[in-house]
Structure 1
Amino acid sequence: MFVTELRFECFADTTISAAEKAINNLLEALRANGQVLGREFAVAFNDGEFRVRLLTPEKTSLANRHNSPWVKRALGALTEAKLLAPREKFIGQDINSEASNLDTPSWQLLYTSYVHMCSPLRSGDNLLPIPLYRIPATFNGDHKRVIRWQSEWQACDELQMAAATKAEFAALDELCSSDSDLFRRGWDIRGRIEYLTQIPTYYYLYRVGGESLAAELHRPCPRCGSPDWKLDEPLLDMFHFRCEPCRIVSNLSWDHQ
């Protein structure tokens, strides 16, 4: 992933509030399309211009060819706020993040965690993130629903990792149960992505707990009840179960590894 700075110059008198609204609208549109990563963006005003540094999946993530309808409207709205189109300054590669997958995968999956800012769509060949703007828009012209689902998954993951409140158990149920709202929304998004890309797309179902290792090795698929989803060798050294009809992958319970 890469760090890029955007600079917004004023071409006429404007106000901080008008500029702030226009710039933040653009940043939110870029985030909803997967062109920038993260949740918070520090916008600084100095020497008559506004500056913001962004984390992007690729060097070319902000290219016009990737823009969604919302991004295009947000760029147009900058003029109303008396701002010129942003100038880009490439800063460099981010040393603390993963590279993006650029090859067409043989299969893919929805996988994230609370420590990841990258795309939740991963290549099944190497687990590298696939920039969302590289696939057709999932809903209403961009990928806002995918990003929203990712934020919900990460919030539940952070709660269960903290393990400090009763909310941990509700969060775990959302992550681990095939009957949860989080699973239902994510599994539907998975299906939409598979339909649009024509690439087999799976949902990662988090697994923790279980009575014993023996019971864990023989647990059935939680959605269809098939006992035959245990793999001889784990995929990517992580996924020990895969149900083809249900499009689910899962790990051997972290309590028994």
Structure 2
Amino acid sequence: MFVCEVRFECFADTTISAAQHAINHLLEAWRANGQILGREFAVSFHDGEFKARLMLPAQDSLANRHNSPWAKAALKGLTDAKILPPREKLLGQDINANESATHTPEWQLLYTSYVHMCSPVRSGDNLLPIPLYKLPATFNGDHKQLIRWQTEWQACDELQMASATKAEFAALDELCNVGSDLFRRGWDLRGRIEYLTKIPTYYYLYRVGGSSLQDELARPCPRCGSTGWRLDEPLLDMFHFRCEPCRIVSNLSWDYQ
């Protein structure tokens, strides 16, 4: 990932509210398309110029060729707010973040956690994140439904990791249960991505708990009941189970690792 400063310069008199609306509209469009990462974007104003510091999946994430229809319309909206097209200054690579996948993988998966802000679509070759704007739009011209699912998955993950309230158990049910709303929506998005990309796409089903290691090793696929989904060697040193028909990968319960 890369850190970038984006500058918005006024070319005529405008108001803070008009500029704020136009700039935030563009930032939301970029976020919905996976061109910028994170949830909050600080925008400063000084001497007639607005500046935002953003996290990008790749150096060219803000190139016009990646813009969604919403982002293109938001760029035109800057003119109505008396703001020139944005100017970008790449500040450098984020040393604490993953690099993005650069090659088309043989398979991919939906995988995230509460500590990750990168794309939830990962390469099955190396688990590196695939920038969302490189994928065909999942719905309505961009990927906001996928990002919304990721935000909800991360919220549940943070609750269960904190282990401080009864909400932990409801959160775990959403993460681990194939009957949960979170699984249903994520699995449907997975299918949509596979249909659009023509690349086998799997859903990561979080696993914790279990009565014993022996039972855990013998547990069947929770969606179809297959007992043949356990792998001889874990994929990417993490996924011990994979069901091809159900397009699910899962880990050996964290209680036994």
Q: Which residue does 1:221 correspond to in 2? A: 221
Moved segments of 4+, more than 2 Å? none
Q: Which amino acid aligns with 1:236?
A: L
Q: Which digits, 9 at most, give the CA deviation of each residue in 1:72-102, with x for residues without a partner? A: 0000000111111101111100101000001
Aligned-residue offset at 1:5: 0.7
> Percent same amino acid at aligned positions?
80
| Whole-angstrom distance in 2 between the partners of 1:122 and 1:90 | 25
Q: Which residue does 1:205 correspond to in 2? A: 205
| Whole-angstrom distance in 1 between the partners of 2:79 and 2:134 | 28
Superposition map of 1:1-257 within 5 A: 1-257=1-257
| Whole-angstrom distance in 2 between the partners of 1:100 and 1:166 | 36
Q: Which amino acid aligns with 1:62?
A: L
CA RMSD of aligned residues (A): 0.4
Unpaired stretches in structure 2, ≥5 consecutive residues: none
| Whole-angstrom distance in 2 between the partners of 1:92 and 1:40 | 20
Aligned-residue offset at 1:46: 1.0
TM-score (norm 2): 1.00
| Whole-angstrom distance in 1 between the partners of 2:214 and 2:168 | 26
Q: Which digits, 9 at most, give the CA deviation of each residue in 1:26-71, with x for residues without a partner? A: 0000000000000000000012100001000000000000000000
TM-score (norm 1): 1.00
Q: Which amino acid aligns with 1:209?
A: G
Aligned-residue offset at 1:113: 0.1
Aligned-residue offset at 1:139: 0.4
| Whole-angstrom distance in 1 between the partners of 2:225 and 2:90 | 51
Q: Which amino acid aligns with 2:236?
A: L
Q: Which digits, 9 at most, give the CA deviation of each residue in 1:134-153, with x for residues without a partner? A: 01101000000010000000
Unpaired stretches in structure 1, ≥5 consecutive residues: none
| Whole-angstrom distance in 1 between the partners of 2:17 and 2:188 | 39
How many residue pairs get aligned? The number is: 257
